[in-house]
Amino acid sequence: MRVIMLIDMDYFFAACEELRRPELKNKPVVVGADPKKGKGRGVVSTCNYVARKYGIHSGMPISMAYRLKPDAVFLPVDEDYYEQMSNKVMEIVKGFADRFEQASIDEAFIDVSQRAKDYSEALELAKRIKQEIAEKTGLPCSIGIGPNKLIAKMACEAAKPNGIKLVKEEEAKEFIQNMPIEKLYGVGKKTAEKLKQAGFATVKDVANSSPMKLMDMFGSYGAEIYKYANAIDDSEVEESYEVKSIGRETTFEKDTEDTEKMEKAIEKMAQEIEAEIKSQGLAFSTVTLKLRFANFDEHLKSTSINYAASSSEEIAKLAKQLLHEYYHGDELVRKVGVRVSGLKKFKGQKRLSEFIG
Ligand SMILES: [Mg+2]
């Protein structure tokens, strides 16, 4: 039996701000772009639950948040501070995991199949994790428990705020199929819109459709949607990046959905990575693309080749493939990263091995 958990911090950036300024606790707190008295551009990154009572939510234009509650406490994103807090949380979570995968600055999947023999043990474990995070950092979180990452993620959404929700394997289908389409994991606004236009009203409709029909609409991504709607997710909890890897990241000046811009950034990073791996006499077999969205969700997608390569063309080609397979314009992108791993000494070329010395 697989037991997977998603630990997700509640209103993380705003919670971090409340932590260092307790006087904010009962005030509406909005972390994000500068509202400039309603003329500001950019979006809300996170807000606390007091702000949510006024209809403010993450991803919303900051100008709209300002209109809803002009006297809310608006704070800029302090990424360094949140990373620090994130590291503390992740260290705690790792201690409870058989396998650990950080999914975002404030989210991690863990596989606990070995240490939790049944669901009641899993529930106990989740309570201990939650308690230890609260004691050591003062931050609230929610935990979803399920037979796979998909169910853990959606259970966690249902557990928010400050809760724990367990969805057993035998309950998974019913749990997921009662959700509105836009709540299905992997389905963003634009995809949900297309599905609705094609006559799908609920997740159940999608589940009862055929993979072929969905693939006609969305390509290979359609097959994923079909699996998700049927509560199927075979993906493993994977340690985020292999230790030995070389990568680059690009943060865009303005959040973007322009894939050409992303491709240009990928090409530039690929050249830098090539220079670095060649200078170390290495070759890679895996490329990972990282996308961080405007709402700070982070997505890692990897692909492997069965030979060792070292050229920037190869890196860029694989990274762009991943981009087009997984990015559907549903969210604005803040940061793109490319990373190569599966690194080996590149022995094939004499000139290079001489260079390594
Ligand atoms: Mg969160």
Ligand 1: centre distance to CA 276 (Å): 34
Q: What is this structure's pTM?
A: 0.72
Ligand 1: centre distance to CA 283 (Å): 36
So what's the pLDDT on residue 355?
37
Write out the H or E segment, with its range, that includes residue 337: strand 333-341
Q: Where in the chain is the domain with CATH 3.30.70.270?
A: 4-10+82-168
Tens digit of pLDDT for each residue in 283-305?
A: 898 999 999 988 777 888 889 88
User: Both tokens of residue 216?
Assistant: 């006609």
CA–CA separation, 56 and 67 (whole Å): 10
CA–CA separation, 178 and 181 (whole Å): 9
Confidence tier at 197 by pLDDT (50, 70, 90)? very high
Question: Of 140, 123, 170, 107, which Cα lies nearest the Cα of 25?
Answer: 140
So what's the pLDDT on residue 240?
54
Q: Is 298 a catalytic residue?
A: no
The CA distances from residue 178 to 46, 145, 200, 229, 230, in Å, are: 27, 18, 13, 10, 12
The highest-level CATH class for domain 173-229 is mainly alpha
Fold of 246-352: Dna Ligase; domain 1 (3.30.1490)
Ligand 1: centre distance to CA 148 (Å): 19
Confidence tier at 281 by pLDDT (50, 70, 90)? confident
Q: Where in the chain is the domain with CATH 3.30.1490.100?
A: 246-352
Domain 4-10+82-168 has CATH 3.40.1360.10: no
CA–CA separation, 144 and 353 (whole Å): 50
Report which DSSP code applies to 35: -
Q: What is the Cα gyration radius of the chain? A: 22
Q: Is 270 helix (H, G, I), strand (E, B) or coil?
A: helix
Tens digit of pLDDT for each residue in 31-87?
A: 998 999 999 888 898 999 999 999 999 889 999 999 999 999 999 988 889 989 999
**113 CB contacts (<8 Å, ≥6 apart)?**
1, 2, 3, 4, 98
Cα angle 194-198-204, degrees, rounded to a multiple of 5: 95
Ligand 1: centre distance to CA 216 (Å): 34
- Does residue 156 contact residue 142 with C-beta atoms inside 8 Å? yes
Q: Where in the chain is the domain with CATH 1.10.150.20?
A: 173-229
So what's the pLDDT on residue 265?
97
DSSP notation for 338-355: EEEES-EE--S-HHHHHH
pLDDT at 2 over 60: yes
So what's the pLDDT on residue 352?
41
Ligand 1: centre distance to CA 123 (Å): 20
Catalytic annotation, pick one of 17, 107, 224, 274: 107
Ligand 1: centre distance to CA 315 (Å): 31
What dotted CATH number matches 13-79? 3.40.1170.60
> Which residues partner with 164 through β-bridges?
143
